[in-house]
Structure 1
Amino acid sequence: MPGDWQRALAIVAHPDDLEYGCAAAVATWTDAGREVAYVIVTKGEAGIDTLEPAKAGLVREREERASAAVVGVTQVEFLDHADGVIEFGTALRRDLAAAIRRHRPELVITLNPVDTWGGTYWNTPDHRAVGTAVLDAAGDAGNRWIFPDTEAEPWNGVRWVAVNGSDSPTHAVDVTSGLERGVRSLLEHRAYIEALTSEDPEEYARNLIEGFARESGERFGGRPAVTFRLFTR
């Protein structure tokens, strides 16, 4: 991955999206003195079947802030779109362009926007809508004639958009030093994990994150890795 940047902004649909994918990379970056902020489009209120949305949203917001802190992220924003029914379109693009203008990142990070994971698991509508809108908003943010009424001034400084979870990654981050915190970051989503599986939460988080990192590392030099498909602007 390019290393000549100072500020990154990660934009995803739900609390836990980053923890399932690239929190170990975020830990590695913040250790190196880089700034990373999170923008979460929903509060994930529809994500816990056993907890009504009004309560679940509060729990998931709290867990996301705690998980971000584990990897050195202190700025976490929630845009309050409705979980499960995010609509791709100009309203979403405007919100994301406004966020990019506020944070002024050089690197923008998002999640796989294509139809499937690995060609066999159907991706969710929220992931597809947000990922595509992020790719569009990175350009929108720099055009003063598009969404001219946002509070922050246009920002044309986005140099790359990095898509985590792509089936065809082009770049990777060695996460040897950040892997343990990647595990602990996912483990902060304990209420979500306990509702999702009967497996011990720590074993679940460790097996998942370490497994992904080992599998990715096989393609990128044999070291634990988090992968991205990098789009240059």
Structure 2
Amino acid sequence: MTKEVDQPAQLEPMPTDWQRALAVVAHPDDLEYGCAAAIADWTDGGREVVYVLATRGEAGIDTLAPEECAPLREAEQRASAAVVGVSEVEFLDHRDGVVEYGLGLRRDIAAAIRHHRPELVITLNHRDTWGGQGGGGYWNTPDHQAVGRATLDAAADAGNRWIFPELIAEQGLEPWNGVRWVAVAGSATPTHAADAGPGLERSVKSLMEHKAYIEVLTDQDPEEYCRTFLTGNARQAAARFGGRPAVTFEVFPR
């Protein structure tokens, strides 16, 4: 008898009945490593995506002092976002490498959600380790954990007028309870996926805009490095998405 091979559980398609998304991550390049191919396809379809970054990535390059690194990485992030159709990029100016989960971070993200009023919020893996699409049990950074966790919490905070009432009094930011999903890119336990094919080439170009960072990260040719990483992850996900290269997300409905 031929032994049956268990087929991997298929991932659900990402929701499409939304118009505005807010992507909240810790550093420049987080979204380019995580889900830029999906974002390119969404903006092509007329959807609006705004980026909010907790830091300017100023501690990311050993050979550059933070005051030199921050404007360079900010410029690279804005250029990178433009490649996938994102024109609005904001920075919360928490310190790179030492972002702390807490009320201040939750408040800042809740304010961004109230301001931009998204239906979909996107963030990056908030758990202790990377696995699956992230690559095999490596320890996650404190910044990713803090920002991802705070984003999940802030999606609820944004809709409650009695949490951070100063956002109303001081900034005129009324509650927004319209977030319908928080989608976590880079999760080891994804539930949904978006077709990576239409946006894959632009995601490679988008990651390549982080030239200064990539040049100190690897001796490999930058385009080869970016293409290998992104296409490899997309192809790995294909087995769970009908054979199509995919960007995976763990989706928490609200």
* TM-score under structure 1 length normalisation: 0.99
Tell whether 2:121 aligns with 1:100: no
User: What does 1:58-77 correspond to in 2, within 5 Å?
Assistant: 58-77=71-90
Paired with 1:42 and 1:217, the residues of 2 have a C-alpha distance of 32
In structure 1, the residue matched to 2:184 is 163
2:125 aligned residue: 112
Q: How many residues end up aligned between the 2 structures?
A: 233
- Which residue does 1:145 correspond to in 2? 162
Q: Which residue of 1 aligns with 2:8?
A: none
- Pairwise CA distance, 1:174: 0.5
Tell me how far apart the structure 2 counterparts of residues 16 and 6 of structure 1 sit (CA, whole Å): 24
Q: What is the rounded CA distance, in whole Å, between the counterparts of 2:238 and 2:204 in structure 1?
A: 16
Structure of greater Rg: 2
Partner Cα distance (1:32, 1:224) in 2: 19
1:22 and 2:58 correspond = no
Q: Is 2:245 aligned against 1:227?
A: no
After superposition, where does 1:74-223 map in structure 2 within 5 Å? 74-118=87-131, 120-150=137-167, 151=171, 152-223=173-244
SS of residue matched to 1:167: coil
Cα deviation for residue 175 of structure 1 reads: 1.6
Measured against aligned partners, the alpha-carbon deviations of 1:63-110 in whole angstroms (never above 9, x if no partner) come to 000000000000100010000000101111000000000100000000
Work out the CA distance in 1 between the residues paired with 2:68 and 2:238.
38
The residue identity in structure 1 corresponding to 2:23 is A
Query: Where in structure 2 are there 5+ consecutive unaligned residues?
Result: 1-13
In 2: Cα distance, 1:74 partner to 1:218 partner: 33
Secondary structure of the 1:194 match is: helix
What is the rounded CA distance, in whole Å, between the counterparts of 1:98 and 1:147 in structure 2?
Answer: 9
1:211 deviation in Å? 0.8
Within 2, Cα distance between the matches of 1:54 and 1:222?
A: 45
Output the amino acid matched with 2:215: E
* CA–CA distance in structure 2, aligned partners of residues 30 and 138 of structure 1: 22
Q: CA deviation at 1:153?
A: 1.1
Q: CA-to-partner distance for each residue in 1:30-51, whole Å, 9 max, x for gaps?
A: 0110000000000000001111
The one-character-per-residue Cα deviations of 1:118-141 (angstroms, maximum 9, x if unpaired) are 162000000000000000000000
Q: How far apart are the structure 1 equivalents of 2:19 and 2:137? A: 36
Which of 61-70 and 116-125 deviates more? 116-125
Q: Which SS does the other structure have where 2:118 is aligned?
A: coil
Q: For 2:19 and 2:198, locate their aligned partners in 1 and report how far apart those are by CA, in whole Å.
A: 19
Q: Residue deviations 1:131-158, cap 9 Å, x none?
A: 0000000000000011111121110000
Flag structure 1 segments of 5+ consecutive residues without an equivalent. Answer: none
